[in-house]
Amino acid sequence: MEKLGVTAPARSVPQLARFLTRHLHWLAAQPPAADFAGETESLVAELRSTIDPDPTSLHTLIRQCVVEDCAGTISASPKNTGTSGSRSIECSAGHSWEMHEWLTLRQLMERQRKGVSA
């Protein structure tokens, strides 16, 4: 704060945010700025992986298909379909559920798990 010739802001989110915004160019030019940015980037990546883990790192859920008389299995590991980048869940016999159908599929799987006919 001495190098900037300003007093320290109050320890509140709005005051600290204003301070950072006003002095961003000066702060970014300081030698430790690159280390701080790297540490922040690592923290953000860790938080994102906690909130939204990489689907390839999860254990894949495998269940019997919910379609009546289908002997296939559902591998609940979403796959990109087509060039649109939309995602779907498929059974080994070829049944497929697009993202907008996943809640319905989940309900059907839950009914099946409890032994309730659909």
**pLDDT tens for each residue of 42-54:** 887 777 766 666 6
Q: How far apart are CA 84 and CA 67, in angstroms?
A: 26
DSSP string, 27-50: HHTSTTHHHHHHHHHHHHHHHHHH
Range in 2-6, 50-54, 106-110 the model is least confident about: 50-54
Report the predicted TM-score, pTM, of the whole model to 2 decimal places: 0.41
How far is residue 94 from each of residues 38, 70, 83, 90, 117, measured CA to CA in Å?
A: 45, 10, 19, 6, 21
Residues in contact with 111: Cβ distance below 8 Å, sequence separation at least 6, in sequence order: 117, 118
pLDDT at 27: 86
